[in-house]
Amino acid sequence: MLGISPKRAGISPKARSGAMSDALTEQFQSMVNEEVQDRRGLGLKAAFREVARLYGLTERRVRACWHREIRSVSAGEWEVVRCRRTEALQARLDRLQQQLERLHDTDRGAA
């Protein structure tokens, strides 16, 4: 032994979970970041706050996602974000469909 610990050499002593874990972490960050991007008109700080409230995360965790600094995601955290992102997208889709229907009704009334 040379007296160099794996930590000092830049190698984590824990085995990595594999590509699936990395892919899920990347997808988690993307879902959070897409929601931040959708709310960015409020200002970045306010968007972090809104997304944290929506997903039940801390503002610090949302900011870490924004900067792609997340190393791991728990199964519970992943599931909550996935479900709430799905709900948010569905609500947005419903609003857009209602707006389209109103536009089509206006077009029919004008014709």
Closest by CA to 28, choosing from 59, 69, 60, is 69
Per-position pLDDT tens, the chain of length 111: 456 655 555 555 454 444 458 899 999 999 999 999 999 998 999 999 999 999 999 999 999 999 999 999 999 999 999 999 999 999 999 999 999 999 988 877 766
Please give the distance of CA 86 from its chain centroid, rounded to a whole number: 11
CB 57 within 8 A of CB 51: yes
Q: Look up residue 67 and give its amino acid.
A: H
| Amino acid 21: pLDDT | 83
Work out whether the CA dihedral 5, 8, 14, 15 comes out positive or negative.
Answer: negative
